[in-house]
Structure 1
Amino acid sequence: MFAEERQQLIVELVAASGRASVTDLAERFSITTETVRRDLAALEAAGSVRRVHGGAVSPERISTTEESILERTVLRPSEKTRIAAAALALIPEDRSGSILIDAGSTTEALAGMLAARSAAGTTGTGAGSNGADAELVVITHALPIAARLSGETGIALHLLGGKVRGLTQAAVGQSTVEAAGRIRPDIAFIGTNGISAAFGLSTPDPEEAAVKAAFVRSARRIVVLADSSKLDAETLVQFASLKDLDTVITNSNPSPALAAALSDAGVEVVVA
């Protein structure tokens, strides 16, 4: 096999799985690890892959890469719908308690489902111990999520303020972090740009990371919504370790390394 043919296959493998290790590539093509590294160097120079310790990842997994919320909304919609539906099942239908919904496209899908459930009257009759006017307290710092839930029957919406970051349409900054420190929601539904065994949860922007870290500290239960593109990914700023989490809802089984790390940290994994 010519080097050009092998390198094209490497690009296809990395694109399909998100990453490839030097040792796996050497075994697959029956070549030395030194040859693999030369191939990866050539492919990185061409912008086809990005080299990392032990192998290569897709160039889309650069630690500072971040799509806007509008771009993310149209990516992997069926996967996000399944994840959001699994998360919705964790929210009490009797309008009891409080939840926090972090910014993100999958969490926005959850907000849409919660709004639809409320409009359909399936959040409960309001009767019983919670009273006729019972409302689920929903806290968010994301403008699109607030817009979806504003005015819905059975939902008491609280919007955390701060400087709005255009890319995510979410409030960030010191005032947002301080506000998060003054609440104690029952469940926080958290979005992430990456979740890995070694680095935990991460996001490219430091201000977003500070807000997410404050949310993780504030809630009684942490539920992470992460589609398969986020698994084994590492972005610039860590905001939580795996041991900070209670549940991860995703759409495919984690890699063996990540699955073992989540199990060791006592994290429940729900595959939707």
Structure 2
Amino acid sequence: MFAEERQQLIVGLISVSGRASVTDLAERFSITTETVRRDLAALEATGSVRRVHGGAVSPDRFSTAEESVLERTVQRQPEKIRIAEAALALIPQGLAGSILIDAGSTTEALAELLSARTAATAAAASPAAASGADVELVVITHSLPIAVKLSGEPGIALHLLGGKVRGITQAAVGQSTVEAARRIRPDIAFIGTNGIHAAFGLSTPDPEEAAVKAAFVQSARRIVVLADSSKLDAETLVQFASLKDLDTVITDRKPSQALAAALADAGVEVVVA
């Protein structure tokens, strides 16, 4: 195989999975690691990939890169819906309790499913039962899109945390949001992330978003992370939690060997939806 042909295949692999390691590429193409590094150097020079420790990633995966919540909502929709369905199953029906839903496109999919389930339950209930029902699920969020989806739903007591709203994520951030998060103790927090890495843990590009997410992780009794497979093995600028802070990770693809081992060592349950 010519070097140019191999390099095109490497670019294709990285564009699909988001990253590739030197050792995996060497094994896949039956070449030395030195040859792989020369290929990656040539590809980086043309802007086709970006080299990182141990391999390479897509050129758009910079530590501060961040898409708007509207852009992310239309990406990987089938995977996000499967993840959201698995998360919804963790929320008992007909029982009082409290959950926190973090900002994000996958958590927004969870809010949509929760809204639909709540509406269907209310429609199926008899008028007498509906009029006498006083059991409500407390839902806490700092996300404006999620609040809109859940506002006014029967059986949901919505609590919106205030603060300065970031336009790109439509989520409240800042010291007032962090302080409000520290004063609550929800039963389950459903957390979004831009990256989940074996060594670096969970991360997000913006320091203010990271501060709010860290407060959520420290406040809730149970932490469930919703992360589609594009977030696996990724590192962004600011860490907000370690793997040991987590209880469950729901994703759409089996994690890499290194990440799976790190999650197992941390005692984290992995659900592949």
Which TM class, normalised by the smaller chain length? over 0.9
2:52 partner letter: V
Identify the range of structure 1 (112-121 vs 53-62) with the bigger mean alpha-carbon deviation.
Answer: 53-62
How large is the RMSD of aligned CA atoms in angstroms?
A: 1.8
Equivalence map 1:7-22=2 (5 Å):
7-22=7-22
Aligned residue number for residue 82 of structure 1: 82
2:143 partner letter: A
In structure 1, the gaps of 5 or more residues are: none
Aligned residue number for residue 4 of structure 1: 4
Aligned residue number for residue 170 of structure 1: 171
Contact 2:189 2:224 in 1 (8 A): yes
Aligned residue number for residue 256 of structure 1: 257
Partners of 2:28 and 2:93 lie apart in 1 by 51
| Matched positions, count | 270
Partners of 2:84 and 2:29 lie apart in 1 by 40
Partners of 1:236 and 1:220 lie apart in 2 by 26
Deviation at 1:95, TM superposition (A): 3.9
The reply to whether residue 194 of structure 1 matches residue 195 of structure 2 is yes
Aligned residue number for residue 225 of structure 2: 224
Deviation at 1:228, TM superposition (A): 0.8
Partners of 2:113 and 2:32 lie apart in 1 by 51
Partners of 2:24 and 2:152 lie apart in 1 by 54
Equivalence map 1:133-172=2 (5 Å):
133-172=134-173
In structure 2, the gaps of 5 or more residues are: none
1:121 partner letter: T
1:270 is paired with a residue whose SS is strand
2:32 partner letter: T
Deviation at 1:26, TM superposition (A): 2.9
Aligned residue number for residue 67 of structure 1: 67
Per-residue CA distance 1:45-65 (angstroms, 9 max, x = gap): 211101011111112322111
Contact 2:122 2:154 in 1 (8 A): no
Q: Which runs of 4+ in 1 moved over 6 A?
A: none
Partners of 2:115 and 2:260 lie apart in 1 by 33
Q: 1:177 to 1:206 in 2, by over 3 A?
A: same
Please, what TM-score do these two structures have when normalized by structure 2? 0.94
Deviation at 1:40, TM superposition (A): 1.0
